[in-house]
Structure 1
């Protein structure tokens, strides 16, 4: 009755389905200047899915939010360290320091606490794909590159404007190869003679 992955205890949470704090995004939006107090929100479509308050200082940020639901709600208030590394051509790159392991990371994933991917035991969605799904994903990624609708039903007819014919032909050939292997996998899965 549940959603994706229900009924399978021990399955790792998927990174793409979790709330995430990305230090690069915060830095691009100039939200890491010392002395700021701001609210950061996440949305799914038009609906808000989460909100967190962030207080900034020179070498850290303070995260303030409520975790859990109903009677299990907990007020969370803790500090996440910031680290900077020098870039080869000048300037610095900013990193979070995971509150649990101290590892330098760009993204913290929300659970009860915002921690690095390893401390929250988070997997990427591709780690759960079987060979058949992986083939289709790779094919769809190439289709997107040449502006063709995803899926194996849409024919590849015209090359996009500005793309070299040789490049288009190479991508179209690769898509054909991937989809051919995909259909062989599907046929084998359903015991269909090819």
Structure 2
């Protein structure tokens, strides 16, 4: 007979994607680092809290479109030096051009984002990473959604500030997310008050 919790399903995840360094092939393509038909070199920098964390030199050779290419990564990471090659597959797009994918060196599967853990890059599944939202309750997820929309409006990160109809739509979604987060929070307070016998709930009108 096993001990307490011996029959529980064990988690296979060892961290969250938000906590590790990553390379997104879509972002690299927008920056001109990944360019079908060319061989390019550039340096990428990661920062945490506005402070420089690590940097690496990328050499992306996509000169042979039909055969695909490879990205060579070299540099000093937070836990030591890295020298790794990641294969890139180019898939013809129905609207012309090509769509690029990393090939995970562990699983061999296509992916658009690779994550750094254990001294090397790989896909999320191969690196056994999960999303932070998976471990959140409803209120935390609603607040996270609100924070992301606020960040989107301010133009932080790799995306520019939305304009015109996009900005109007983002503002509308932000207001809805704020209302949802507040409603969930008050519902939770009411449930706690019902259990404790409290007479008044914070936020209730008199």
TM-score scaled by length of structure 2: 0.64
Shift of 1:124: 1.1
Instruction: Look up the match of 1:19.
Output: 21
Secondary structure of 2:101's aligned partner: strand
Q: What residue is the counterpart of 1:5 in the other structure?
A: none
Cα contact 2:23–2:115 (8 A) shared by 1? yes
* Structure-2 change in CA distance of 1:144 and 1:81 (3 Å): same
**In the alignment, which of 177, 188, 205 is matched to residue 185 of structure 1?**
188
Match for 2:140 among 113, 133, 146?
Answer: 133
Match of 2:47 in 1: 43
Q: Is the 8 A contact 1:64 1:78 kept in 2?
A: yes
Query: 1: distance between equivalents of 2:133 and 2:110?
Result: 23
Aligned-pair CA distance for 1:57: 1.7
Q: Is the 8 A contact 2:86 2:105 kept in 1?
A: yes
| Residues 98 and 115, structure 1, Cα contact 8 Å, conserved in 2 | yes
- Larger deviation: 111-120 or 170-179? 170-179
Number of residue equivalences: 163
RMSD over equivalenced CA pairs, Å: 3.4
Give the alignment's TM-score, normalised by structure 1. Answer: 0.68
The correspondence of residues 29-108 of structure 1 with structure 2, limited to 5 A, is 29-33=31-35, 34-58=38-62, 59-67=69-77, 69=79, 73=80, 75-108=81-114
Q: Distance in 2 between matches of 1:19 and 1:143?
A: 22
CA contact (8 A) 2:106 2:126 kept: yes
Deviation at 1:38, TM superposition (A): 2.4
Cα shift readout 1:96-138 (whole Å, capped 9, x = no counterpart): 1111111111100111211000011111111110123224345
Instruction: Work out whether 1:119 is the aligned partner of 2:126.
Output: yes
> What is aligned with 1:151?
none
Alignment partners' CA distance in 2, 1:173 and 1:56: 42
Unaligned runs of 5+ in 2: 1-10, 63-68, 154-166, 202-206
| CA–CA distance in structure 2, aligned partners of residues 189 and 99 of structure 1 | 49
| Partner Cα separation in structure 2 for residue 32 and residue 143 of structure 1 | 28
Per the alignment, in what secondary structure is the counterpart of residue 48 of structure 1?
strand
**Runs ≥4 residues deviating over 6 A:** none
Alpha-carbon offset, residue 18 of structure 1: 1.4
